[in-house]
Chains A and B, each alone.
Chain A
């Protein structure tokens, strides 16, 4: 009948979205950490695809870079990591994302 329309993934700047959100950042106390950065080098890096806040990015050296400031505290990165390499905690009480509407 008709060929499927090709889906061109939209280019989205997630930071613009996060700019609308309110946070209380716990400076110098990241609540998520990579246990063994070496292990990330040989990984397909699902954390970088699945994180809804774009906190995880692939480095030029093929490793992973994590900046938790925009974290939405969903827990996804912990669950998609097959190497149990994400040391994941909730931020200290009162810190982190502050949803206005939810």
Chain B
């Protein structure tokens, strides 16, 4: 039976970063992907953060399929009274090369990344679902079982880059089952429009793009957010909510998405577009407290499979690529030192994560999932009050502004006691400081 130094399961950003780095480092790598080609199973908003990829492929801008660079970010609070309160951040420096953030379409991006992995020397086999991990006498991971005939393959280390469902780790009892409490389900549509129409509607030119993060009553009290990103000749629109909330109510994911698309602030932006794909995917949003064991004898877990997502900043692919690179660098270093891939030695992977933005950011927001989970009114009440306040102040109707302010305050206090308000403010400050 053929044996590899490392088997990487999955060809998303985390698996590709790992396989690429390992192959460049001279290890014998096999990467297995269940999709017909890499990317055909994967969904993202999607914003790509240049920094994480640059550390792996410095000249990625020359060949990667990038849609637009992010020239402007908007943050919107939509309420059920059909108002939108928001902030816009446009910075001319965002449009100076090298750009920092790009919109991408994952099916195209993953395929590109995979070509780089192959060119670096890894063996990439698609259309192959890994069924389970193979174990040695001491319980160490020694390879994988695929669904193919004679499909057992051995390796000194298996990197689990299999994404949010994390089935392989669960079935091998390396981790508990992922929980509905720690998962968001996002649905998304790619809506095509002529390039000129997008540029006119979003006030952009050339490769400039706009990304809009959306919160408020579009989630009907559930913890969740929406997004609208511009691509070259399409717009990606999506919405995601925590599964623990979604299972307790009666609106389907596609009804939520339709509600977002029909909101008067969104509708004119996508008017007349042709929908060419509808997709859905889970996002692990449990944060630091939901992280599983990250390594053991003969295995490591990277990316979404480990739960490396910073939900507050909607970052995932960059944590995926960084953790994949760290796992690979750990193995390269051990191999060069002639050390086996035991749990004790693989602890160096965790040390790398601990010393980086991956763990620092996850730790920083460790209270946020619980905060939002325990205070669902935060997402419903405040957008509505903000919207009502702005409407009252901005409507010119002969009423003195003083009266209006009083009215706004009374409204707010009616929804939330002063103590509750202070409590929310304090909790927010603690969770985000």
Residues of A within 8 A of B250 (CB): 9, 49
User: Out of A7, A20, A72, A101, which one reaches B107, CB within 8 Å?
Assistant: A101
Interface centre among A1, A54, A78 (most CB of B within 10 A): A1
User: Out of B189, B262, B277, B278, which one reaches A10, CB within 8 Å?
Assistant: B262
- A10-B255, A10-B262 in contact; A80/B279 too (CB < 8 A)? no
Is the Cβ of A2 less than 8 Å from the Cβ of B81?
yes
Nearest A residue to B392 via CB reads A1
Residues of B within 8 A of A76 (CB): 185, 243, 280, 282
Is the Cβ of B255 less than 8 Å from the Cβ of A50?
no
Residues of A within 8 A of B34 (CB): 90-91, 93-94
Residues of A within 8 A of B148 (CB): 93
Is the Cβ of A102 less than 8 Å from the Cβ of B107?
yes
Nearest chain B CB to A65 CB, angstrom units: 16
Stretch of B176-184, B306-314, B359-367 at the chain-chain interface: B176-184
Question: Measured between alpha carbons, how far is A20 from B165 in the docked complex, in Å?
Answer: 25
Residues of B within 8 A of A53 (CB): 280
Nearest chain B CB to A72 CB, angstrom units: 4
Nearest B residue to A71 via CB reads B280
Decide yes or no whether B325 CB sits under 8 A from chain A: no
Decide yes or no whether A21 CB sits under 8 A from chain B: yes
Is the Cβ of B106 less than 8 Å from the Cβ of A74?
no
Question: Measured between alpha carbons, how far is A76 from B43 in the docked complex, in Å?
Answer: 15
Interface residue tally of chain B, by bracket? 35 or more
Is the Cβ of B183 less than 8 Å from the Cβ of A102?
no
Decide yes or no whether A69 CB sits under 8 A from chain B: no
Decide yes or no whether A30 CB sits under 8 A from chain B: no
Stretch of B125-133, B200-208, B368-376 at the chain-chain interface: B125-133
Interface residue tally of chain A, by bracket? 35 or more
Nearest chain B CB to A9 CB, angstrom units: 5
Is the Cβ of B247 less than 8 Å from the Cβ of A80?
yes
Instruction: Name the prevailing secondary structure of the A interface residues.
Output: loop
Residues of B within 8 A of A24 (CB): 36
Is the Cβ of A20 less than 8 Å from the Cβ of B180?
no
Decide yes or no whether B293 CB sits under 8 A from chain A: no
CB proximity to A under 8 Å, residues B52-102: 80-82
CB proximity to A under 8 Å, residues B370-408: 384, 388, 391-392, 407
Decide yes or no whether B220 CB sits under 8 A from chain A: yes
Question: Measured between alpha carbons, how far is A7 from B26 in the docked complex, in Å?
Answer: 58
User: Out of B36, B187, B255, which one reaches A98, CB within 8 Å?
Assistant: B36
Question: Measured between alpha carbons, how far is A72 from B40 in the docked complex, in Å?
Answer: 11
Question: Measured between alpha carbons, how far is A90 from B165 in the docked complex, in Å?
Answer: 10
Is the Cβ of B185 less than 8 Å from the Cβ of A74?
yes
Residues of A within 8 A of B165 (CB): 75, 78
Nearest A residue to B236 via CB reads A101
Residues of A within 8 A of B128 (CB): 93
Question: Measured between alpha carbons, how far is A21 from B249 in the docked complex, in Å?
Answer: 27
Residues of B within 8 A of A99 (CB): 39-43, 106-107, 277, 279
Is the Cβ of A1 less than 8 Å from the Cβ of B388?
yes
Is the Cβ of A79 less than 8 Å from the Cβ of B180?
yes
Question: Measured between alpha carbons, how far is A1 from B164 in the docked complex, in Å?
Answer: 43
- A10-B259, A90-B129, A102-B107 in contact; A49/B252 too (CB < 8 A)? yes
Is the Cβ of B183 less than 8 Å from the Cβ of A20?
no
Decide yes or no whether B251 CB sits under 8 A from chain A: yes
Nearest chain A CB to B202 CB, angstrom units: 19
Residues of B within 8 A of A100 (CB): 107, 276-277
Question: Measured between alpha carbons, how far is A76 from B165 in the docked complex, in Å?
Answer: 9
- A10-B262, A52-B280, A80-B180 in contact; A73/B41 too (CB < 8 A)? yes
Decide yes or no whether A62 CB sits under 8 A from chain B: no
Decide yes or no whether B303 CB sits under 8 A from chain A: no
A51-72 vs B, CB cutoff 8 Å, 1 = contact: the mask equals 1111000000000000000001
Is the Cβ of A94 less than 8 Å from the Cβ of B255?
no
Is the Cβ of A21 less than 8 Å from the Cβ of B279?
yes
Residues of B within 8 A of A98 (CB): 35-36, 40
Pairs of residues from A and B, 8 with the lowest C-beta to C-beta distance, nearest first: A94-B127, A102-B106, A46-B247, A52-B280, A93-B127, A17-B278, A102-B107, A75-B165
Known: A52-B280, A53-B280. 10 other contacts (CB 8 A): A1-B407, A10-B262, A12-B254, A14-B278, A46-B246, A49-B252, A52-B187, A72-B280, A74-B282, A93-B129
* Chain B residues at the A interface, C-beta cutoff of 8 Å: 34-36, 39-44, 46, 80-82, 105-108, 110, 126-129, 146-148, 164-165, 167, 178-180, 183, 185, 187, 189-190, 220, 234, 243, 246-255, 258-259, 262, 275-282, 384, 388, 391-392, 407, 411
A sample of 21 cross-chain residue pairs with beta-carbon separation below 8 angstroms, ordered by A number, consists of A1-B411, A9-B259, A12-B252, A18-B278, A20-B278, A49-B247, A74-B281, A76-B185, A78-B165, A79-B178, A79-B282, A92-B129, A93-B129, A93-B147, A93-B148, A94-B36, A99-B106, A101-B108, A101-B234, A102-B46, A102-B108
